[in-house]
Amino acid sequence: MPQIESWSRLLLAVRNHLIDRMRDRGTGLEDLNRLRLWLELKPEVPKTAWYKGFGSFKLCGEGKYPKTFLLRGQAAKWQEL
């Protein structure tokens, strides 16, 4: 299984999209810190679509690339980590 890509290696357009979604979704600082700690572990993720919950939001991705954020109550149709 691939490891999630580091923030600095994401395309600028992807980083900007994720930042915009964080702002739109009103993610909490404590939950963003949980995300940061998880990313520092360089977790393995499936090659297919996935999501991981962080309290006030869910991070969704495909393979090693994060794609977007959903609100806690929004349904994710991908594999939960």
With respect to residue 2, please indicate whether it lies within any of the assigned structural domains. no
User: Which tops the pLDDT comparison, 7 or 75?
Assistant: 75
43 is in which domain, residue-wise? 7-80
pLDDT, residue 77, reads 85
Q: Which residues contact 37 (CB under 8 A, 6 or more apart)?
A: none
- Record the pTM: 0.80
- Report the mean per-residue pLDDT for the chain: 87
For residues 59 and 69, what is the distance between their CA atoms, to the nearest angstrom?
5
Q: How confident is the model at residue 53 (pLDDT cuts 50, 70, 90)?
A: very high
Is 68 domain-assigned?
yes
Work out whether the CA dihedral 2, 7, 12, 14 comes out positive or negative. positive
State the Cα–Cα distance between residues 5 and 42, nearest whole angstrom: 8
> Is 45 within the bounds of a domain?
yes
Mean pLDDT for the stretch of residues 39-65: 93
pLDDT digits (tens, 9 = 90+) for 18-41: 788 778 777 777 888 888 889 889
26 to 6, 17, 23, 74: CA distances (angstroms): 23, 14, 5, 14
Residue at 1 is within a domain: no
Q: How many domains does the chain have?
A: 1
